[in-house]
Structure 1
Amino acid sequence: MAANDTRLRVAIVGSGIAGLAAARILREQHDVTVYERGEPSVATGGQGIANFPNSTHILESMGFDYSRAGSVELGGWNSVDKHGKYLYNIDYSMRERYGAPLVSHMRVDFRTELLRLATAPAGNLGLDASAAPATMVWNNGAIDLDAESGRITLEDGSVVEADVVIVADGIHSRLRNKILSEPVSAQKTGLTCCRVAVSAERVEQALGKLPRWWQDQREKGQGYMHLIEALDGTSRLTVAYPLRNLTWMNMAWVFQTRKERASTTESWHADGDKDEILEVYDDFGDDLKTMLRVADQVKLWELQDLEPLPTWTSGRAILIGDAAHAMTPLQGQGSNMAIEDADGLRLLTQPGVTRDSVPEILKTVESVRRPRATKVLMNTRSTSKISSAADRYAKFDENCTYPGILGTLKQQAAAS
């Protein structure tokens, strides 16, 4: 951006994955403040998260440090039935196939690295000195929005005016309906996900050794997705993948919802009951159930998503992340869409951007991002009730080959 171009005042509502990634992108050219309703530790926990090539190529362009996050590159996946009988095994390098890796990390480690990218001194990230760190405001989230003027009202009653407002406050967004003409809320899918992360040390103490499929990964220094499928029409599925340099294992147990609770509807990290989960999976292997028993935390989440929204933008405001397109984790694309959304905001860092041009630029961002996120949502929904892991991952090419917003616009221009 030329020296006489405008530095915009950017207000980001929410310090989750979408908000922090957006802060990292936008700090390169603008003055960014992130408003978070909770403490600095908000939305952290002992569960894992996986990033596919469609987002890791963006993360790498941002300077994301896999070593700091204890990330594990995953080289494929295998599938077994509930008794441990192998069904199939697929080994391949996603970096070779798509130009970027599939990696997994602890959610808290992933978010901590994004926070570093948003707030570290510019020199630490190899950025120009003008790329000032984002300012973080904790315990003072936004409760109201005037999208046309760019004004947000905070919990303490103060009003902030910005040139751009990025609404990244999650699936139960408080500001989404300030952008839409009609109220929209998340809907339940009928599935519940139990999420745990367990250390190798705890498992070895309980079992005397690691399960063979985990030990294989340790010995090879190579992680992979391990899927345990019921294959009995119940839609029960367990997905395990390594974290923190293979010293922890994330496990997601998905099953038909038995009992609806306000806590698991309103939050993705409500405490769960181990005995209840063990009852649901009583016919699965003993080693797997022992791993659940020795986990420090068990979190339950009634899986929800959003119908595709009619718009993401109004005036100077745009929805991103789960506030715009919440989807279930059954194809692991929720956090990846958040990173893609942040990349979409690169259009605000291009030469010639002014305060007056913001609304039109946000519409262009939406014109790329909304159809893309809707397609991935539909892909995810199409796999939500089936048992075959092969079917769940059949849409890799469609999910993983997204070239970013600049690449997409270039493709569209070439095709026109």
Structure 2
Amino acid sequence: MSAQVAARDALVVGAGIGGLTCALALRRIGLDVSILEQAPALQEVGAGLQLTPNATRVLRNLGVLDAVLQAGVLPAALEVMEGRTGRLIARCDYAPATARYGAPFLVIHRADLHGALARAAQDAGSRILLGASLEGVEADNGKIAAIASRGGEPLPLEADILIGADGIRSTVRAQLGHSAMPVFASRLAYRATIPSPHEGEPVVRLYLGADAHLVTYPVQSGDAINVVAVVKEDRPVARWSEPGETSTVHAAFSAWADEVRALLARAPDYRCWGLYDIDPLPRWGTGRSTLLGDAAHGMLPFLAQGAAQAIEDASSLGQALQEHADAEQALRAYEAVRRPRTARIQREARANGMVYHLAGPAAFARDAVLRLTGSHLIDRYDWIYSA
């Protein structure tokens, strides 16, 4: 390990996409890494996700992109559609942007990405402790001690630094004194995967409509289509990957284009998520502890940046630990780089959710702008993808 690295070992809480990427990044700079995961098995639930060039560039630098590509799909374009008529509003080919950013746009099933990261992290020497619950965090003699248990038995752990990558309802965040609570977005997401007929080029399609929208794209090497149907819901719904009411989905899209209704009808069932984010935090960490991913900046999916920003966090944390000789200084430097960027993305994701669901004259104006923008749709997010 280089003498410049600010820590010898790290404890990562949470073995999701952010936590595993963090472990991989820290192992590559020489830290010993233990991951604390409360689930009894290393698995990921959910459906598909989009990885933009800012994320795939990091995965390539970490040596895991080739493995991810084996299960992912490189879409040819983004197509924005009018939900009720099925008419094309705008199309943006990904090839010019991929060349410009030097990394691809990729769509993949969440479980496939999680599996590739888990294998890479374990192959790199990370220790994953399953079925382990975090109960407290204490600082002692320049180390961070985690008060944890597994199977009802105490599980003493300590490290030079602790990273909370345990999701939007983070235990670590609460332990660090944050009172922030997840904010319900008045939206539910119904997700499903359906067999793909392998017809036509692979594209990401975004169907827009009043108080609802639909996103579709291929996953699992093109063998399946990921469907995300987002509908309005005023009452807070604290649901996470629970069975969804198929009738609710069909009712919400009953007046939409035939192709949309036919696609939704092909799904045998749906899983339901309440959509939440958190307000940008005034700080992420203290002492030798910090946050990463949704624990630090839970965001809505309307910029397709949730996983991408967790992946960016991991890379930035590894870089800060190499650049600063003191661990606490390194963590504060990491936070100083990441907090403004992720806060902006959180705010813009909220705004996009409103734009997607416009109705009447406002929707007409939105669609007119999209038509004029056309093949330059991606340019608006150059500040995200080029970083």
Whether the 8 Å CA contact 2:53–2:105 is kept in 1: the answer is yes
Q: Which amino acid aligns with 1:150?
A: I
Partner of 1:229: 208
Give 1:5-404 correspondences, 5 Å limit: 8-28=8-28, 29-45=30-46, 47-66=47-66, 69-82=70-83, 83-93=85-95, 94-120=97-123, 122=124, 133-147=125-139, 149-156=143-150, 157-180=154-177, 182-200=178-196, 210=197, 215-217=199-201, 223-230=202-209, 234-257=210-233, 259-262=235-238, 264=239, 267=240, 269-347=241-319, 349-350=321-322, 353=325, 357-387=326-356, 388=366, 390=370, 395-402=380-387
Question: 1:35 deviation in Å?
Answer: 0.6
More displaced stretch, 6-15 vs 57-66: 6-15
Q: What letter is aligned with 1:98? A: Y
Please report the TM-score for the alignment, with normalisation by the length of structure 2. Answer: 0.87
Unaligned stretches of 5+ residues in structure 2:
357-365
- What is the alpha-carbon distance in structure 2 between the residues aligned to residue 365 and residue 21 of structure 1? 16
Q: Secondary structure at the match of 1:54?
A: helix
Is the contact between residue 26 and residue 348 of structure 1 (CA under 8 Å) also seen in structure 2? Answer: no
- How far off its partner does 1:74 sit? 2.1
> In 2, are the aligned partners of 1:13 and 1:141 still within 8 Å (CA)?
no
Alpha-carbon separation, structure 2, partners of 1:308 and 1:26 = 25
**2:179 is matched by which residue type in structure 1?**
P
Instruction: State the distance in 2 between where 1:399 and 1:282 align.
Output: 35
Answer whether contact 1:193 1:252 (CA < 8 A) is retained.
Answer: yes
Q: 1: CA distance between counterparts of 2:378 and 2:58?
A: 21
Equivalenced residues, count: 362
| Aligned counterparts of 1:67 and 1:285: Cα–Cα separation in 2 | 37
Query: Do the aligned partners of 1:379 and 1:395 also contact (CA within 8 Å) in 2?
Result: no
**Contact residue 171 and residue 186 of structure 1 kept, 8 A:** yes
Alpha carbons 1:274, 1:292 under 8 Å: kept: no
Q: TM-score, normalised by structure 1?
A: 0.81
Structure 1 vs Structure 2: percent identity of aligned residues?
26
| Contact in 2 for aligned 1:12/1:32 (Cα 8 Å) | yes
Cα distance change on mapping 1:273 and 1:397 into 2, 3 Å:
same
Residue 12 of structure 2 contacts residue 163 of structure 2 at CA under 8 Å; is this kept in 1? yes
Give the deviation of 1:193 after TM superposition. 1.3
Q: Is residue 13–residue 166 contact of structure 1 (8 Å, CA) maintained in 2? A: yes
Supply the AA of the counterpart residue of 1:285.
Answer: A
After TM superposition, give the deviation of residue 258 of structure 1 in Å.
5.2
Work out whether residues 52 and 308 of structure 2, in 8 Å CA contact, stay in contact via their aligned partners in 1. Answer: yes
CA contact (8 A) 1:147 1:179 kept: no
Contact 2:13 2:37 in 1 (8 A): yes
What secondary structure is seen at the aligned counterpart in 1 of 2:340? helix
- Would you say the 8 A contact 1:119–1:135 is kept in 2? yes
Q: Is the 8 A contact 2:92 2:378 kept in 1?
A: no
In structure 2, C-alpha distance between the alignment counterparts of 1:257 and 1:331, rounded to whole Å:
20
Distance in 1 separating the partners of 2:86 and 2:5: 61
Gaps of 5+ in 1: 123-132, 201-209, 218-222, 403-416
